[in-house]
């Protein structure tokens, strides 16, 4: 673990996301688990990252990959036991890795005891723990909000004659954070995990924490395209980023500070102006509100450079940037930009100012994989058959080995198809592999304060090349990235330290080769 004195570990650190179902199976069930993560910790530690973020491992009916939770302080038996989790935390800490968990505050499972009580009667003790409303005058849903997975964001309950809100699947009723008892119960759950040694949380879908209590209709989005998903046919003006949610974020941060400054990473999809709100009014919100621009941006150097400048200007004084290339919800970078550009994309992620989060398998150059209908897991895909929507293609199990059954992921029948990517074992000792490149990038980042904590300065951006400088302790490094399949002039001259081109002669770097990224001491 990096010792940075007064600098928090996460400012110079790197976070690695693990989706447990797809990481490593230790039982032959076909699905990954906690002991599987323990088995592969040496791979993660050797990358040189500082923390693992583990997607939900709580008890769940698995209607949405574990994001439908029945117990916020337990462990899903598919993944193991609380003793397995304790051993995982101990092993991770021994390997120099922090452990972050997913916290899912906006909704529970419809099988959670809270919701079973809530729907039992209109006068049930926990009725107001969820968002219930009468039907509209025509008998339909209370407003026009659309679920993130398609269809109305409201589900009718025959027994009590009201609708309940479900921003995601109907099996994920929205919790009512305006009820103080809900807020206290959820904060208590966070306390439990802090006491179990967790170093922080990635907070899921926090923009939906307190949807508009007047239930005003969302306006239509005139620029909507089907590929954006059904929910984006409306602007989320009243169903997300509402004012009452921000004091709740401040309370989460206060609790994190009570436990020695644990890290909170916030998932809040929105405009850059909206994302900035989650830093808090006095940096009392999330330390790292996720910045997803590199996932959705056109792969164009001018656009990316302009966004970096705008983002850097908008971050509040004392705030810290962060960057993400991929995650469990979005198409893999190698599928979005191609295998050649994916190498430069990793260089970009690991050299920008701010904390990078890596998505498992990107260090192997994994791509999206087709998933037959009978293997679909994602409710987004199941609710929209034949459309190509869905997140299963990015959640394919990690290919650890070639000779072993199940490519080293499982000895059983995998819950999703196996990857076609080159295995970790095959890439291990190959200096030309993506894995070797990522390790080299992280090693250089750790060796050079300019790349981890240094300043950022734009050097060049045109139709084909992006170059920027990082500087610390009077040492200036320049990162130059060629976004084209043609050779381009170097924007600056200097001693080359690392290239994305395998086995490149670093003593003879005078131009940028096609699709090449180079780091120079300039």
Burial code of 298-321, b = ≥16 C-beta within 10 A, e = fewer? eeebeebbeebeebbeebeeebbb
How far is Cα 170 from Cα 476, in angstroms, rounded to an integer? 53
Question: Per this entry, what is the length of the chain?
Answer: 522
Buried b (16+ CB within 10 A) or exposed e, 232-267: bbbebebbbbbeebbebbbbbbebbeeeeebbbbbb
CB neighbours of 386 closer than 8 A, spacing ≥ 6?
Answer: none
CB 107 within 8 A of CB 172: yes
Catalytic residue status for 204 = yes
* Burial letters 140-154, b for 16+ CB under 10 A, else e: ebbbbbbbbbbbbbb
The rounded distance, in Å, linking the Cα atoms of 335 and 337 is: 6
**Contact present, 489 and 512 (Cβ < 8 Å):** yes
Of 490, 470, 484, 466, the residue nearest 305 (C-alpha):
466
Which residues have a Cβ under 8 Å from the Cβ of 236 and sit 6 or more positions away? 207, 218, 270
Instruction: For residue 258, indicate whether it is catalytic.
Output: yes
Write down the catalytic residue from 50, 76, 204, 267: 204
DSSP state of 392: G
Q: How many CB atoms lie within 10 A of CB 180?
A: 8
Name the CA dihedral angle for 190, 193, 194, 197, rounded to a multiple of 10 degrees: -160
- d(CA 67, CA 172) in angstroms, rounded, equals 8
The β-bridge relationship of strands 475-482 and 488-489 is: unpaired
Token representation of residue 49 = 């990252």
Which of 83, 257, 258, 487 is labelled catalytic? 258
Give one word for 119, left, alpha or beta, with left for phi > 0 and alpha for psi -120 to 50: alpha
Structure tokens at 281: 């009014």
Closest CA to 175 of 207, 208, 142, 131: 131
Residue with tokens 């592969």: 40
* Gyration radius from the chain CA atoms: 23
Report the catalytic residues. Answer: 204, 258
């Amino acid at each position: 673990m990096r010792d940075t004195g007064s600098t928090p570990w996460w400012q110079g650190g790197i976070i690695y996301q693990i989706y447990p179902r797809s990481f490593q199976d230790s039982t032959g069930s076909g699905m990954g688990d906690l002991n599987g993560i323990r088995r592969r910790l040496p791979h993660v530690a050797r990358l040189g990252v500082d923390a693992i973020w583990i997607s939900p491992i709580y008890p769940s009916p698995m209607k949405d990959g574990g994001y439908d939770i029945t117990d916020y302080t337990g462990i899903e038996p598919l993944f193991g036991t609380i003793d397995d989790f304790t051993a995982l935390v101990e092993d991770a800490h021994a390997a120099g890795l922090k452990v972050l968990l997913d916290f899912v505050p906006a909704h529970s499972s419809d099988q959670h005891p809270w919701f079973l009580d809530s729907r039992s009667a209109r006068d049930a003790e926990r009725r107001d723990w969820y968002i219930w409303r009468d039907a509209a005058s025509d008998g339909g849903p209370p407003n026009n909000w659309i679920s993130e997975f398609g269809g109305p964001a409201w589900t009718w309950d025959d027994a009590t004659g009201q609708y309940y809100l479900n921003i995601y699947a109907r099996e994920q009723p929205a919790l009512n954070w305006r009820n103080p008892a809900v807020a206290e119960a959820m904060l208590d759950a966070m306390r439990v995990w802090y006491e179990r040694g967790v170093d922080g949380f990635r907070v899921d879908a926090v923009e939906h924490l307190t949807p508009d209590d007047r239930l005003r209709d969302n306006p239509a989005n005139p620029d909507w395209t089907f590929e954006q998903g059904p929910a984006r046919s409306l602007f989320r003006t009243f169903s997300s980023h509402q004012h009452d949610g921000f004091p709740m974020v401040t309370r989460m941060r206060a609790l994190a500070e009570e436990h020695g400054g644990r890290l909170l990473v916030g998932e809040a999809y929105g405009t850059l102006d909206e994302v900035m709100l989650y830093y808090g009014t006095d940096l009392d919100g999330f330390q790292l509100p996720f910045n997803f621009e590199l996932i959705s941006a056109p792969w164009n150097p001018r656009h990316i450079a302009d966004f970096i400048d705008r983002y850097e200007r908008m971050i509040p004084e004392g705030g810290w940037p962060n960057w993400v290339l991929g995650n469990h919800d979005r198409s893999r970078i190698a599928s979005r930009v191609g295998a050649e550009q994916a190498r430069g994309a990793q260089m970009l992620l690991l050299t920008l100012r701010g904390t990078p989060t890596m998505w498992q398998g990107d260090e192997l150059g994994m791509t999206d994989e087709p998933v037959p209908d009978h293997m679909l897991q994602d409710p987004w895909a199941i609710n929209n058959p034949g459309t190509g929507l869905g997140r299963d293609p990015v959640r394919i199990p990690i290919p650890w080995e070639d000779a072993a059954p199940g490519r080293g992921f499982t000895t059983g029948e995998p819950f999703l198809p196996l990857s076609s990517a080159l295995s970790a074992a095959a890439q291990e000792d190959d200096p030309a592999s993506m894995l070797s490149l990522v390790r080299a990038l992280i090693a250089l980042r750790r060796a050079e304060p300019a790349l981890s904590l240094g300043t950022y300065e734009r050097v060049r951006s045109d139709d084909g090349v992006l170059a920027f400088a990082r500087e610390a302790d009077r040492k200036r490094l320049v990162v130059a990235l060629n976004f084209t399949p043609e050779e381009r002039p170097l924007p600056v001259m200097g001693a080359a330290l690392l290239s994305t081109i395998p086995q490149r002669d670093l003593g003879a770097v005078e131009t940028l080769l096609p699709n090449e990224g180079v780091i120079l001491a300039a």
